[in-house]
Amino acid sequence: MSTPAPRPSVLFVCVHNAGRSQMAAAFLTHLAGDRVEVRSAGSAPADTVNPAVVEAMAEVGIDISAETPKILTTEAVRSSDVVITMGCGDTCPVFPGKRYLDWQLQDPAGQGVTAVRPIRDEIEHRVRGLLAELGVRT
């Protein structure tokens, strides 16, 4: 009997944890289910998720209306295999043996749903690529 492969763990980080990181975490959860452990956090979390982001995700059938921004903790980084930053750069703690990626994406803060859609679509594209790299089927 073979041992199941360990479940990869991915942490998405942006400043407010109200837009980009929330969309990325939602897409990864939606596409991979329980085959990937997903976290998101912000270095300076907002009070609520951006309403235009909630609306844009609802348009593709993903409900993130109950999500809340979370503070970035050292433990979240330490317990993740892959850490993907989205415009917070140097505020994210760095640990040896972790894989770090920085996704340069426009910030949806203060934008309407029309401006959020292309950001959402780019995030979905990148999440699908990440899943392929991790060897996780969708």
Kindly list the catalytic residues: 14, 88, 92
CB 32 within 8 A of CB 135: no
> What SS3 class is residue 119?
helix
Query: Which residues are CB-neighbours of 122 under 8 A, at least 6 positions away?
Result: 105
CB 36 within 8 A of CB 8: yes
Report how far apart, in Å, the C-alpha atoms of 72 and of each of 61, 111, 125, 133 are.
27, 24, 24, 25
Give the span between the Cα atoms of 38 and 51, in whole angstroms. Answer: 22
Distance of CA 6 to the CA centre of its chain: 20
